[in-house]
Chain A
Amino acid sequence: MRLELKDLSFSFAEKLVLKGVSMDVADGEFLGLMGPNGSGKTTLLRCITNFLPGWDGKILVDGKPMVSYTPRSLAKVFAEVPQISSTDFPFTAYDIVMMGRIPHIGSRLEGETRKDMEIVRTSMKRTNTLQFAERHFSELSGGERQRVIIARALAQQPKVLLLDEPTVYLDISGQFEMMDLIRGLNKEERITTVTVLHDINMAARYCDRIALLNEGRLEAIGTPEEVLTQENIQSIYGLDVSVRKDPFTHSVYVMPRSARAPPKRHGARVHVLCGGGTGGPLMRALVENGYSVSTGVLNVLDSDYENATDLRVPVVAEAPFSQIGPESHGENLRMIDDSQVVIVLPFPVGPGNLKNLEAARYAVERGKRVYVFRADREVAYDFVGGRAESFISALTSSGAMEVRSLAQVLTEISRLGGAASA
């Protein structure tokens, strides 16, 4: 079922909420609808179902104008899954799903037929909700309820499935479960699917195409690669991100970059080379003592990455399970250029982050004050066959200072005082 929107506009209380949106949704396509809050995504869905009449423009369903459909026939085309469904009334899950048959049951005098009951059962099996059939809808968990609603949508036998942020109240496993289910329905039953999503990475992973809305206008529409660019996200969401390709799923992956340049505090700019949680206490101490801190390169899954972002310390990031690539390494070096002090912590060194030690050597070559924490003999940190060990020795012999404690390094840095602003 094709869906065509031509120049769709809608005003609410004299405010223009949708401004001339035009797009085509191909038959069987999985389209993600995204945009900041208030960009008109939900309004768009409501215009498509004609819940909000009074829009301008054209909406064509399967080539025919949407307005030529009666409410009942429209309900045979579109099925909607809202963010959340709840009721105080004692409907069973079965009751809820059976409501999906309402547009199909012929006359008011008729009851449900065997066929209706079959379709309900099948829908519930498909969504793994048949076991809830006799239970009260209100007693089910959020995820279970959403699955029941999807079963209802299925029972409607729609040509187009519309979802409004279906995962927003689900926990992370529920979210993936839901999206897998929806995509399964989309591909197997060939139901055109339009879903509003907030999670950029999830949308990139599941959608065939993504439509980006901003302030009621369609800003971009295309594949995730085409649409989820750094420029688009910056201009629409105002967020500085780095866009990578997820090595496992090959889908686009977006990571927020550190937002602002570090505020210059008193004097020294310190760059920390760490990982595996080693840097946490140091960074905290530095920030508390008023130093401008930066760190990198850290893998996004590294606990020190989390520590850095918690402390609003600018960090050069790398995608999970990835080696430090040339871009991040280059950025790391630039950060070092901007710093006066570099501190090397006894982080576990593997082939993936060996480059951080190279960065340390770079720092020494550039004449930065480099402090190296000596590793605890008992804790294994060298996973590169001794090369880390030799790097560190080389550092200390070429000018880096060995330190043994947090307090010591803080004292050292403070002694640099005014002389450190180079």
Chain B
Amino acid sequence: MESRKAGAFDVKMLAVIGVVVAATVGFTSGYLIGVAKQPETMSIVDDYGRTVKLSGVAERIVSVSPTPTEILFAIGAGSQVVGVDDYSDYPAEANNLTKVGSFTLNEEIIISLNPDLIVCSDLVPRAKLDKLAIEQGIPYFIFATRTMEDVYKDIRLAGGLTGHTTEADQLVTQLQNRVNALTNKTLATGVSKPRVYIEYYPLWTYGPGSFGDDLIRLAGGTNVAANASSEYPELTAEFVIAQDPDIIVYTVGPMTTTTETEIAGRQGWSGMSAVVDDKIYSMDDNLLSRYGPRIVDGLEQLAEMVHPELFS
């Protein structure tokens, strides 16, 4: 037994159809505001394969990640940087620039700085950058660094973007020399490869494919997490104990509470070689996570910890 459907349900169907149509149209249509652009004379491909076009050398750069900031200043392009993110604290001059936010970028400040280029690492959420690119015509350039080779490449790219190619090349050469001097010792035949465990947060370490993993290798060690499942894995305590690292390095940042005593005191860790030999060291976190020139500083420190006998 059916009751007659009242006319209101036709309204309902119409409403549903209307909303679905509107949603479909909206979701699949583009929305662009055209902005008059200067003729583009320069085009550089970034680390994500995106072709970024500029009308010339970038004079007003906003850097929203600490690594590109450090690189730009290191090649002498600091005066071309007009704004940085909250975490770009090195060098000191960078710290004094206008801050544009961190996880959420403040479009208003960025716009008010009138930039012609935004640079970022590949960890930054790109939705806002896309918005600025599409609607205001401000391009953004992604630096994605995973290895030392990437660092050299990025320094050169930065040189190209800012017109400081000479300084960039010089810096690269310097860094390469330092690294080679180091690896001549650490990667020489017959040199031992102690097992190294780096911890940037309790039980979180650098896995295969990460920069940290590469640094351990260059410093002449073996990463206990070399065969872990991902780039930045969380290990189990049993695994670390089983691997029995010779050297433990923990990084220190603003939120770190780990100490040497705490590590040595962990359940079951007392028998570990690193603990027994008292080879637990700390390092400034930034030296291992800012993939600019300072990474070589970090590498040198690490090498000294791993092979004290090679560097006196």
Which residues of A line the B interface, CB within 8 A? Answer: 50, 53, 67, 69-72, 108
Contact = CB atoms under 8 A, between A and B. Distances in A.
B8 interface: yes
Contacts of A72: 6
B3 A71 contact: yes
B263 to A, nearest CB: 57
A323 B179 CA distance: 124
A69 B8 CA distance: 17
A70 B2 CA distance: 9
Given A67-B1, A67-B2, A69-B3, 9 more contacts: A50-B3, A53-B1, A67-B3, A70-B3, A70-B4, A70-B6, A71-B3, A72-B6, A108-B8
Contacts of A70: 3-4, 6
A53 B3 CA distance: 11
A67 B2 CA distance: 7
Nearest to B11: A108
A16 B130 CA distance: 67
Contacts of A50: 3
**Which range contains the number of B residues in contact with the other chain?**
under 10
A71 B6 CA distance: 9
Nearest to A66: B1
Interface in B8-32: 8
Residue from B3, B4, B6 whose CB has the most chain A CB atoms within 10 Å: B3
Contacts of B1: 53, 67
Contacts of A53: 1
12 contacts: A50-B3, A53-B1, A67-B1, A67-B2, A67-B3, A69-B3, A70-B3, A70-B4, A70-B6, A71-B3, A72-B6, A108-B8
A72 B3 CA distance: 10
Interface in B133-151: none
A320 to B, nearest CB: 51
Contacts of B2: 67
A69 B6 CA distance: 12
Contacts of B8: 108
Contacts of B6: 70, 72
B221 to A, nearest CB: 68
Nearest to A72: B6
Contacts of A69: 3
Nearest to A55: B1
Interface in B185-219: none
B4 to A, nearest CB: 5
Closest 7 CB pairs of A and B: A67-B1, A70-B4, A70-B3, A71-B3, A53-B1, A108-B8, A70-B6
B279 to A, nearest CB: 67
B284 to A, nearest CB: 60
